[in-house]
Amino acid sequence: MNDTYDQQRRGRLSVVVTDYLGDEEVSAEKFCTELTEEIRDWANYHRDQLNKANKVLTHFNSDKIDWCHPESSVSKNKQREYNMKEQSYYDKRARLDAISTATDKDWTDFWKGDAADDEFEMMLSQYGYEYTPPIPKRY
């Protein structure tokens, strides 16, 4: 690719963006939704082309092409498996983090900054500003 083509491509993008943003009847949500749909359509088209190529290779008894990111040697299915395991881990962490023995009043006091002055002063004098309360055994 040369600079002229890059400039032309950027110009075509500018025309599309200007068309969407300049139209008073098009909301930001509609612009984003339609752009997302266009990208998904593009990806689906190319996935369909990959599937078609794999069918042709099957007729030649050749190995199928497994899609992977150009910068990665990990296949799409392995990446999906990893992502699902990672999501499961974070879901479990979120459930554990949500467990609390604090009452609604405790949280209200916390967010307001209300704390027992004598307790605060005692901890401050004993530990300084670097005090971290003890962590329960369940962690």
21-69 pLDDT tens trace: 999 999 999 998 998 888 888 888 888 888 888 788 777 776 666 666 6
What are the domain boundaries of the chain?
A: 1-65
Q: What pLDDT sits at residue 97?
A: 67
- Report the candidate in 44, 42, 46, 62 with the shortest Cα–Cα distance to residue 54: 62
Task: Determine the distance from the C-alpha atom of residue 127 to the mean position of all C-alpha atoms in its chain, rounded to a whole number.
Answer: 39
Stated pTM of the model = 0.40
> pLDDT per residue over 59-111, tens digit each?
777 666 666 666 666 677 777 787 888 888 887 777 776 666 667 777 677 66
pLDDT class of 13 with cuts at 50, 70, 90: very high
Q: Compute the distance between CA of residue 19 and CA of residue 31 in angstroms, rounded to an integer.
A: 10
Answer with the residue of higher pLDDT: 113 or 21: 21
In the predicted model, what is the mean pLDDT of residues 9-17? 93
Share in percent of the chain as helix, strand, coil (round to 5): 70, 0, 30
The reported pLDDT for the residue numbered 115 is 62
